[in-house]
Amino acid sequence: MGNKVTILQINFPMGSSRRNGSAPRELGKVDAEVAQARGTNAEALAAYRKAVLKAAEDVENALINLSQTEANAVELREEVEALKRSQELSRKAYEAGSIALTDVLDTDRELLTAQDQLELNRADAARAAVSVYRALGGGWKVTKDAGQVRARATTDTSG
């Protein structure tokens, strides 16, 4: 048997680029793109976390506002009931001649003021409930037709 020598030749396409140094530059470019993508991802994650925290804060604030409004409403209802009893007693006392008419009128004024505060509180409670709903992600879209209806209603009430 004879001795045969086989020479294996492998050609790499990057061989020529290694000679002029472009392969390390391309690897550096890829590394930079990866780093940039990671930075962009981290930035988006930070923005997302900030938005979630802001949304949670909005929900918490809206719920606190609603809770405080409801607690205030309880106090105002109790005040109105007490003033109604006071008004009745002052009228009876006036009819009996025990107090002056100005005292009865003062009691009436106090009752009307408390009733006005209660109604303002009801409006605040409605606004607070809407704030909770919106903070939790609820909402609505105003359609073009609704805008026209609103515009007509505004025109009718001003004229």
Delimit the domains of the chain by residue range.
54-138
pLDDT for the residue numbered 153: 38
CB 80 within 8 A of CB 117: no
The whole model's pTM is what?
0.58
Ranges of the chain whose pLDDT falls below 50: 15-18, 149-159
pLDDT for the residue numbered 67: 95
6-22 residue pLDDT tens = 565 555 555 444 455 56
C-alpha distances out from residue 143 to 29, 45, 69, 149, Å: 50, 34, 31, 10
